[in-house]
Chain A
Amino acid sequence: DVKVTQSSRYLVKRTGEKVFLECVQDMDHENMFWYRQDPGLGLRLIYFSYDVKMKEKGDIPEGYSVSREKKERFSLILESASTNQTSMYLCASIRFGAGGGNQPQHFGDGTRLSIL
């Protein structure tokens, strides 16, 4: 069964720590995304990648970086975690264009990150 897997469902870290959130997809999709979801704000795009080693900033990239060394893996990095980064983080893998066809567009189950 095709899927997007996020490394942790729940994570607790301390202020100032460097935090890595991992996402792996097995659908050979070019496009991968990281969002954060907060009550009343919906999903906001942090970063996305349309190919290996390619990345683009989303709407709220400050305080984050990403890494895409392999097509199937997209990592979100909190360089120095702060309490305002406590949130639900969602990874997505999507194929746009004609090649998308009827393939489902997948999200991971999310990582609920708490920064203390």
Chain B
Amino acid sequence: AQKVTQAQTEISVVEKEDVTLDCVYETRDTTYYLFWYKQPPSGELVFLIRRNSFDEQNEISGRYSWNFQKSTSSFNFTITASQVMDSAVYFCALSELTQGGSEKLVFGKGTKLTVNP
């Protein structure tokens, strides 16, 4: 079965440091999607990025960047010059084809990031 591993349970950094959140996945599917979500203390899950398995280009959005490497089954997320408002739990997720032909999401357990002033 598909699996997403976020080995870092908690990370604590000081403001302006760069931080990388790791995500390693396992899948049998040849076509799949990878996602990152942010969950701030208020509780809502905020979509950050969706990546198709055929698109290995790295992506940058402001201070956020993502490194997708199929060879190592990793989809890592880097925050540059972290800010206190980046403090949140971050989830990596993988789409999985079901036996019935539909798709569902499999989530990692999340990494809690604390950015201290």
Interface of A with B (CB < 8 Å)? 31, 33, 35, 40-43, 45, 48, 50, 54, 56, 58, 88, 90, 92, 94, 96-97, 100, 104-110, 112
B104 within 8 A of A: yes
CB of B102 within 8 A of CB of A42, answer no
List the A side residues contacting B50 at CB < 8 Å: 100, 105
CB of B47 within 8 A of CB of A88, answer no
Which bucket holds chain B's interface residue count?
20 to 34
Given contacts A31-B102, A56-B100, A56-B102, contact A42 B43 (CB under 8 A): no
A-B contact pairs, 13 of them (CB 8 A): A41-B109, A42-B110, A43-B107, A43-B110, A45-B104, A50-B102, A56-B100, A96-B33, A100-B50, A105-B47, A107-B47, A108-B44, A109-B44
CB of B33 within 8 A of CB of A107, answer no
Please name the 3 residue pairs, one residue from A and one from B, whose CB atoms are nearest each other, closest first.
Answer: A50-B102, A42-B109, A107-B45
Q: Closest A-chain residue to B104, C-beta based?
A: A48
B64 within 8 A of A: no
List the B side residues contacting A42 at CB < 8 Å: 91, 107-110
Complex Cα distance, B44 from A106, in Å, reads 10
List the B side residues contacting A54 at CB < 8 Å: 102
Given contacts A104-B47, A110-B43, contact A96 B91 (CB under 8 A): no
Complex Cα distance, B100 from A104, in Å, reads 25
Q: Closest B-chain residue to A104, C-beta based?
A: B47
List the B side residues contacting A97 at CB < 8 Å: 103
